[in-house]
Amino acid sequence: MSVPLLPLPLPPARDLDELFSRFVRCYRCPLAYSRRHIVPGCGTTEGGIALLTDRVAGVDERDGKLLSGPAGDLQEKILAAPRVEIPTDHVYLTSAVLCRAPRDRMPRTAEMIACNNRLRRELALVRPRIIVALGTRAGAALFANPKYPPEPHRWLFWSDGEREIPAYVTLHPLEAAWGPAGEIKRRKRILYDDWQAISARFCGRHDAFKGESAGRGMP
């Protein structure tokens, strides 16, 4: 009786094009059965800031670009704000998952886990100087621990196995767009304070290490 041979594991993708080509027909999780197509990461791969969002929205899938529509407009305003002033061509943008979930719901734990090896390899190829997770769910995906997301608003460190990269978990821009007026104002202040600290570290200003004493987080 012959024993069927299992396929040999693929070597790590050599570049982003090769990496994303492997996921065009991915069926590792249920999102594959409702997506129209994957929405890959894009942006600079020259030692910039990697932004990690928590999901692919319907407008992202339609436009083929993450953080499209109001979310992207808000994020661009944040990057352009005084004492932040990070050019968009210094940014790489990716997501915890590559596929849109039905009705734009948040990705489930199993879906995030299924996409984590891709995320790790993607960030290793991009080699950012800083990683910023937009929301605690994105932070949980970054540190591969969906049940226990990392504490936000402080510096952590993410490892790709070779390098430790400073990482920061802040609010998703849409969290400062909806709700009671007082809550929106409070969240905008948190976002602005966070992004000043992120920009300071990225640009090497003297206040760059705000929150460093809070400790180091490893995946």
Which of 188, 144, 191, 172 shows the shortest CA–CA distance to 57? 172
Residue 9 in tokens: 């594991």
Rounded Cα–Cα distance for residues 141 and 150 (Å): 10
198-204 own/partner pairs: CB under 8 Å, 24+ apart: 198/49, 198/84, 198/86, 198/130, 198/132, 198/168, 198/170, 199/83, 199/84, 199/85, 199/86, 201/130, 201/155, 201/166, 202/49, 202/86, 202/90, 202/129, 202/130, 203/86
Domains of the chain plus CATH, in order, are 16-214 (3.40.470.10)
Residue 161: its pLDDT value, please?
Answer: 86
Write the CB contacts of 189 (distance below 8 Å, at least 6 apart in sequence): none
DSSP helix, strand, coil percent of the chain (3-state; round to 5):
40, 15, 45
Residue 215: its pLDDT value, please?
Answer: 36
Residue 218: its pLDDT value, please?
Answer: 29
Strands (E), 67-154: 91-95, 130-134
Strands (E), the chain: 42-43, 49-53, 91-95, 130-134, 155-159, 164-170
Sequential pLDDT tens for the chain (219 residues): 555 555 556 788 999 999 999 999 899 999 999 999 999 999 998 889 999 999 999 999 999 999 998 889 999 999 999 999 999 999 999 999 999 999 999 999 999 999 999 999 999 999 999 999 999 999 999 999 877 788 899 999 999 888 999 999 999 999 988 889 999 999 999 999 999 999 999 988 544 444 443 333 323
Which of 22, 25, 24 shows the shortest CA–CA distance to 11? 22
Single-letter amino acid, residue 130: I
Residue 172: its pLDDT value, please?
Answer: 95
Rounded Cα–Cα distance for residues 15 and 121 (Å): 9
Residue 217 contacts residue 167 (beta carbons within 8 Å): yes
Residue 93 in tokens: 């943008």
